Each structure stands twice: as structure tokens, then as C-alpha cells.
Chains A and B, each alone.
Chain A
Amino acid sequence: MNNIDLPLTVYVVDDEAPARHRIRELLGDCNAQLALELVGEASNGREALDQLATLHADVVLVDIRMPEMDGLELAQHLNKLERPPVIVFTTAYDNYAIQAFELHAIDYLLKPIRLGRLFEALTRARSAVPVKSEVLQELIPEARKNLSIQERGKILLIPVESVLYLRAELKYITVRTVEREYLVEEPLGSLEKEFANRFVRIHRNCLVAKEEIESFEKAGVEGADLHWTVKLRGLEERLPISRRQQFIVKEFKKH
């Protein structure tokens, strides 16, 4: 990772100002024995993503419970950075997450944070590798609120609520919103599982947002291969439903 002579750069994300203040004090205390530099702090995930796009940090201390975007989701988005930071989670109390961290040997700090534990975590971070996104995904009890992609060095967030469909194309998944398309690199199967509440599979390679379905239409040449298609709100495009998924037409008409 970094040259050992350079100070370790640290970034703090926590929605509570006193908690950030406390970490600042402790980092100050660590500084005597470990060269480090606090490069910034944020009170929410979005702010952190914006800043960290241009600012490199070796270690990011992330609070798990935060409004709007929790720490586990933020960690996944941070992983899309070109040089992903090592993430150390902080939490006051979260049995579920802690068990999972133990299981996957992910570093975490319990609040109130002890100086000794923080020191250890930062020392370890020098040689640690970022936790894989797939592992983080397993940890998350809830679905993410955003998908993220890296575009020109920045992390773009795509709110899941705005996604109309997801379609697998060769190596990538096309993420379609009303405005535009994005390409993400995640298996369609795991997206289907994570966002089962929002999307329904209409084809081997395609998931559409249930709420955005406007109508079903028959398409194809008369007499030949007639099949159903889906029309989504705000899109002209008609998406074909595969033979095996035809039953969803009936299911939707029931509602």
C-alpha cells in the first residue's frame, strides 16, 4: 500500500458531531506513536463519497448507524474507488453486525472507542486489504438504497427508487432510469435477490421495477411468434417477456 514513511491518512464518517470530536481527540493521542493525518470528516455517506473522490484516505472510520445511508452501504460504494480505502466500522451497539464482522474478520471499533483499540486498528490497516464487496453485501440485512458506479474518478449514486429496469448485457448490467443508462458490474442474480421487493424478473437477462409497469402488450407478427412485452412508465422501449415468465402477466392483472 502506502510508503511506510508517509503518514497514514484517516477519514471519519459519523452523523454525531461529538462522536467525530472524540475520534479526533483519540487520533491526536495516537499521533505520538503513529504518524497519521486526519484528512477530513463527514456527517453522512453522500458527503464522504463526494470528498473521497478527490481526496485519498488510507483508512476510513465509518459509523454503522447513520441516517439515509448506513455505514455498510457506504463501504460498498467506497469500494468502487480506484484506490479503495481500508474501512474500520464503528458502532455503539449492534449485535447483528458485530457477529458478522467477527465471522468475516472485518475490523470494527466499539464506541466508546478505546485508545488502544484504535491504535491497533490503525496499525493493522497499513497492511490490511479492503473487504470484498460481496462479503459486505452478505452482511447487509437490508437492501442498499443506491447503486453506485465509478465515472471519471467520481462515485455516482443511482437511487434504486429511480431504476426502471436492470438488463444483463455481456459483462455488464445496464441500469436504466428515466434519464439515462448506466453500466454496473454486479451479477444480475444477486441484484435480484437483494432488491426482490422492487424488481421482478421478466426474462433470463432482465429485471423490471414492479411499480413502474404501465401495461402489458402483445407484440410480434400476426400469426407468427406472438409474445408479451412490458411497457414501463416514462420509457418508449418495450421489453420482451420470456415464455417461461409469461405467468407474471396474469399475476399482475389480478392486482
Chain B
Amino acid sequence: MPKVQSINQNLLPDALPNFRNLGATLRIVLLVNGIAMLAALLQANSFQDGIQRFVDGSAFLQPVLLSNLLLLYILNDLLLRLPYWHGFAAVLFIVGLVSLAIYQLMGDLYGPAMANVSFHVWRTFILSSSLAALLLVYFKLRAMSLSTALHDARLQALQARIRPHFLFNSINAVLSIVRADPKRAESALEDMADLFRMAMADSHELVPLRREIELSRQYLSLEKLRLGERLRENWQIDEAVNEALVPPLMLQPLLENAVYHGIEPLAEGGKIDVTLLRTGNELHMEVRNPCHSQQGEHNGNKMALENIRERLALQFDVEAKYTVESGNDFYRVHIQLPFIKEEANE
């Protein structure tokens, strides 16, 4: 397996935000403009005046903001490779310099030249770097609170009620073939070991989708051991997704959910459709299963799905979408996330 580094927005508390993430960029734009508005209000003597000041300020602020975001977007990979505090300092320095440069280049536009040049230069530098520092602290705090959530999420997934059900039923199924078909029992136990190793791994890193597919197939073969003909599967895998990276344990819980709520309650069983494809810069994962019309929502179900939704939100912010469609006799979960190529960080 190639060494894979996460390039997500908020996976580790000690990481700069991913400046290429739409969510992070949006947050920066909104926060900076919010602060500018407050600053304008502070100086104003009427609302009218406040708005005027904000608009005036924007003439300087927006070019500075956009140039900074552009530069950070370009330097993103470099910055993320630095140790956190170096990266932190580098961002402050870059932001200060860019602001200063724009101030110098377009200085005349923003007011008549004044005697006290050095004050204005320093003010621009201090204000812009401080604002950048404030934002970085915000992202750090956010990442810290989210990383606890991420940790909890993994525990939750493990403890979700659906797991013990699978564990004990599978052990039971393996026991039932131990005497008659020891070879098959062996490989079933190996599959189980893989699954639980993956579930218990404390890894925040992205994993190749290939690996997730393999794991999911192992899982389904375990379930087939006990459900037999009742469980049928249909995979549609786009060639292009083979080199994709995804957060661990996204696909398998979806399948577990489909088996528990879709297939098991049906005496005649049914077919699970898994579709994995790439469109442009997006990766789509879809799991569709038949379901009994009057199925009550199960607690474990909600927890497993809620957990996936949360992890997607934490890791990709607005760049990932999670949708559930529940029809009369089918249930479909669709996940859309940014397509990340395996060698992205090599």
C-alpha cells in the first residue's frame, strides 16, 4: 500500500486548514467580511455611515482577501508539509506581505498619501497578519473539537447495535461449517479478522477505495455464509475509481445496514446494488437495497448512518453530500465526495 497522507481539511488538530477546500474558503470569506462589517460599525456614527465605510473598506479588503486565498490555494501542498507552527508563521507572513504589496501598489486609490507612511505600512501588516492568526486559531479549535467527535464516532460505530448482531451471528455461522467444511471456516475467520481489524484501527487517514471494496466483499461473503441464496449482490464499478482515496469504513457500514434492514427481514431475500463511479472531480458511492414497506427505523441503523454523515461533514465540509432516498420498497443511500487520487501526495 502506498504511503498515504491525508489532505483533508480537519483530520488532525495540528494541521492548517486545507485552503483548497471549498468549505474552508467559504468560512474564511464569511468571517473576514463579518469582522470588517463589525469594524465599520465600530467607527460609524449611523447605519448609513457604517455601510458606506464597509463598502469603502471593501475596495481594499476584497482584493487582498482574494489574492491571499489564491496564493494560499497555490501554496497549499507546500504549507501542509511544514510542521504546524512553521506553517502557521508562514501563513501570517504571506498574508502580511500580500496585503502590504497590494497596499503599496494601489495605495493611491485608498486615500491621499500621508506623511506617516511607516505607521500605515505597519498597520496594514499587523492587522492582516493578526486577522490571519485569528482565523488559524479558529480552524485549530474547530479541528480540535471535531477530532474528539471523530474519535467518538469511531467508537460509536463499533458499539452500534448492529455490530454485535453481525459478530455473533457470523461466529455462529462459522461454527456451523467448522466440522463439515474446515477450509471454508478458516477463510471466513480470516475475513472476520480483517473486518474487525479495520473497524478497530485508529486511523484518520484516507485509504484506497480498492481496499474498501475488497473489505466490503469479504463482509458480504461472510453474510452469505449464513443468509445463503437470500443475499444477492450486484457491483457496478467504474474503472476510474480504482485509484480513489476515501475515508475508511464508509462503504462497509452502508452494506451492513442494507443487509440488516433490507435483506434479513425479507423471507425471499433480495439484491443489493452497489454503484461506484467518478464524474469529473467527484466520487459517487451508492448502495441500494430492497426493503419491507413497514420497516421501523432501527436504532443501530440510525447510529451507523448518522456516523457516516458526521464523518463526511467533518472531513469534507460542504464538498461531500449525503442523501437518503427511501421509497415504498427500496432504500438508497448516495454519497458524493471529492475525488482524491491515490498519488496526490507522493
Residues of A within 8 A of B (CB): 15-19, 21-22, 25, 43-44, 65, 67-68, 92-93, 95, 110-113, 142
Q: Which residue of B lies closest to A65 (CB)?
A: B264
**B226, CB-defined interface residue at 8 Å:** yes
Select B172's contact among A15, A19, A43, beta carbons within 8 Å: A19
**B165, CB-defined interface residue at 8 Å:** yes
Q: Is the CB of B171 within 8 A of A112?
A: yes
Select A67's contact among B164, B179, B266, beta carbons within 8 Å: B266
Q: Which residue of B lies closest to A18 (CB)?
A: B176
Q: Is the interface of B mostly helix, strand, loop or mixed?
A: helix
Over the window 154-169 of chain B, the binary record of Cβ atoms lying under 8 Å from chain A Cβ atoms (1 yes, 0 no) is: 0000000100110111
Residues of B within 8 A of A (CB): 161, 164-165, 167-169, 171-173, 175-177, 179-180, 225-228, 264-267, 292, 296
B331 to chain A, nearest CB (A): 16
Point out the residues of chain A lying under 8 angstroms from B296, CB to CB.
Answer: 142
- Once A25-B179, A44-B267, A67-B265 are accepted as A-B contacts, the answer to whether A19 and B171 lie under 8 Å apart by CB is no
Q: Which residue of B lies closest to A90 (CB)?
A: B172
Q: Is the CB of A25 within 8 A of B267?
A: no
Q: Is the CB of A111 within 8 A of B168?
A: yes
Point out the residues of chain B lying under 8 angstroms from A93, CB to CB.
Answer: 161, 164-165, 167-169
Select A18's contact among B165, B173, B266, beta carbons within 8 Å: B173
- Once A44-B267, A67-B267 are accepted as A-B contacts, the answer to whether A112 and B165 lie under 8 Å apart by CB is no
- Once A16-B226, A17-B228, A93-B168 are accepted as A-B contacts, the answer to whether A112 and B175 lie under 8 Å apart by CB is yes
Q: Is the CB of A112 within 8 A of B267?
A: no
In the complex the two chains form, what is the Cα distance from A25 to B179 in whole Å?
9
18 A-B residue pairings within 8 Å (CB atoms): A18-B172, A18-B176, A18-B226, A19-B169, A19-B173, A22-B176, A25-B176, A44-B267, A65-B264, A67-B264, A67-B265, A67-B267, A92-B168, A92-B172, A110-B168, A111-B168, A111-B172, A112-B168
In the complex the two chains form, what is the Cα distance from A68 to B266 in whole Å?
7
Q: Is the CB of A18 within 8 A of B267?
A: no
In the complex the two chains form, what is the Cα distance from A62 to B193 in whole Å?
30
Apart from A92-B165, A92-B169, list 15 A-B contacts with CB within 8 A: A16-B228, A18-B172, A18-B176, A19-B173, A19-B226, A22-B175, A22-B176, A43-B267, A92-B164, A92-B172, A93-B168, A111-B169, A111-B172, A112-B175, A142-B296
